[in-house]
Amino acid sequence: DQVVLLERCRPALDQGEKVCLDLSIKNTNRAVGTMLGHEIMKRWGEAGLPDNTIHLRFQGSAGQSFCAWLPAGVTAVLEGDANDYVGKGLSGGRIVTYPPNNSTFAAQDNILVGNVVLYGATGGQAFFRGRAAERFCIRNSGASAVVEGVGDHGCEYMTGGRVVILGPTGRNFAAGMSGGIAYVWAPEPDVFRSRCNLGMVELERVHDGEDIAELATLLSLHARYTDSSVALNLIEQGEEILCNEFVKVMPVDYKNALAKQAAGFRQ
CA 98 to chain CA centroid, Å, is: 13
State yes or no: pLDDT of 73 exceeds 70.
yes
Percent of the chain with pLDDT over 90: 96
What is the tens place of the pLDDT at every residue in 90-149?
999 999 999 999 999 999 999 999 999 999 999 999 999 999 999 999 999 999 999 999
Tell me the pLDDT band of 214, cut-offs 50, 70 and 90.
very high
Q: Which amino acid, residue 40?
A: I
Alpha-carbon span 218 to 242, nearest angstrom: 12
State yes or no: pLDDT of 86 exceeds 80.
yes
What is the tens place of the pLDDT at every residue in 5-51?
999 999 999 999 999 999 999 999 999 999 999 999 999 999 999 99
Mean pLDDT value across residues 186-196:
97
State yes or no: pLDDT of 266 exceeds 70.
no
pTM for the whole thing?
0.97
Alpha-carbon span 160 to 162, nearest angstrom: 7
State yes or no: pLDDT of 169 exceeds 70.
yes
Mean pLDDT of the chain: 97
Per the DSSP assignment, residues forming a β-bridge with 182 are 163, 249
Alpha-carbon span 32 to 37, nearest angstrom: 10
Tell me the pLDDT band of 267, cut-offs 50, 70 and 90.
low
State yes or no: pLDDT of 3 exceeds 80.
no
Show the domain range for 219: 5-266
Alpha-carbon span 103 to 105, nearest angstrom: 6
Q: Is 14 exposed, middle or buried (0-12, 13-18, 19+ CB in 10 A)?
A: exposed
State yes or no: pLDDT of 1 exceeds 80.
no
Percent of the chain with pLDDT over 70: 99
Tell me the pLDDT band of 251, cut-offs 50, 70 and 90.
very high
CB distance 72 to 123 below 8 Å: yes
pLDDT at 264: 77
pLDDT at 263: 84
What is the tens place of the pLDDT at every residue in 150-163?
999 999 999 999 99
Alpha-carbon span 220 to 230, nearest angstrom: 11
Alpha-carbon span 76 to 229, nearest angstrom: 21
Instruction: Give the angle 30-27-170 at the CA atoms, nearest 5°.
Output: 95
CATH code of the domain covering residue 100: 2.160.20.60
Cα-based torsion angle of the residue sequence 131, 132, 134, 135 in order, rounded to the nearest 10 degrees: -130
**Tally of structural domains, the chain:** 1
Per the DSSP assignment, residues forming a β-bridge with 164 are 146, 183
